Amino acid sequence: MAFNKTDGSFFSRLKAGLSKTSKVLVKNIDEMISGEKVVSRDIFEDLEEILIAADLGPSFTFDLIEDMKERAKRKELQNPESLKKIMVDNMTAILKQSESPIVLPSNKIFTIMVIGVNGTGKTTTIGKLAAFFKQQNASVLFAAADTFRAAAIEQLEIWSKRTETPLIKQAMGADPSAVVYDSIKAAKARNTDVLIVDTAGRLHTKTNLMDELKKIKRVMGKELPGAPHEILLVLDATTGQNALMQAQMFNAEIGISGLVLTKLDGTAKGGIVVRIAKEMKTPIRFIGVGEKIDDLRPFNGREFVEALFAES
């Protein structure tokens, strides 16, 4: 199976992908402290505005600035430039706690139920996940359980062909739980390593959507004890605070075990990753920084911060 290889390291792509966020956050901080000799109250006020504008959130912003003020009282801040190091250290500490890559068990089917609203890149993420697991020599099976949109099934079929991954599907309008039932039976029969279940992102009402997802979750658990082993929520980073609201809503209704943040290359709101990490405390499994098949990678907190603050 041949995948398109990209030039350069993933770090350079991550750095390029975060350039819009870096421009909003790091460049503004650099401009703010340029020429300043001492840490003043005005600097803290300006920094607060910058952090909020970059979608880092009020909780992170308050804690960070309080930390800085305490250090200032203890004469630990030598100059305004030292504020950046404290910020980097704080962000890294928070994001490191969100690192938790998926580890596949041996000789067992690992089931992933992928959820998220339409437009987040959910089906594309599923295709990239298949490529990722296949590179680990794992066999993968798709379940097309979003039967409410013909386009959803067709899109998954495209990724099925592209990644050479078998697909279990039924006609549009079929019961999604029936597709899941068939998929688990097929996964057992084929000794599949990873079963990835696509789900609907929108129904007539939010209640209908959540009820449908809960039903799928129940059917998976009934047919395979412990399933779904991972409930992966896909979030579009370009939506900023809306991504956090979606995470909170899905977690309250369904319960999520991991997050995927997509489209980080198209947003100046990459700070939302830090806010979600601090306020949700749900593992960030993967981030996406491009359209290529290998642009979805396991999340590394230190790498993320280094790419964000790296010099151009």
What angle, rounded to 10 degrees, do the helices at 58-73 and 81-96 form? 130
The answer to whether 110 and 194 are in contact (CB under 8 A) is yes
Tell me the one-letter amino acid at 240.
G
In this prediction, residue 225 carries a pLDDT of: 94
In this prediction, residue 3 carries a pLDDT of: 30
Residue 262: strand pairing partners: 236
Residues of the chain with pLDDT under 50: 1-8
Q: Which residues contact 2 (CB under 8 A, 6 or more apart)?
A: none
In this prediction, residue 312 carries a pLDDT of: 63
In this prediction, residue 7 carries a pLDDT of: 39
| CA–CA gap between residue 107 and residue 168 (Å, rounded) | 21
Query: What is the 8-class DSSP label of residue 171?
Result: -
> Residue 80 half-sphere exposure, CB side, CA atoms within 13 Å?
18
What angle, rounded to 10 degrees, do the helices at 241-253 and 272-280 form? 30
Neighbour-count burial of 48, counting CB atoms closer than 10 A to its CB (0-12 exposed, 13-18 middle, 19+ buried): middle
Question: Residues 244, 245, 246, CA angle at the centre, nearest 5°?
Answer: 90
Cα 291 to its chain centre, rounded Å, is: 15
Q: Which residues contact 273 (CB under 8 A, 6 or more apart)?
A: 95, 237, 261, 264, 284, 287, 304
In this prediction, residue 1 carries a pLDDT of: 28
Mind listing the pLDDT tens digit for each residue in 235-256? 999 998 999 999 999 999 999 9
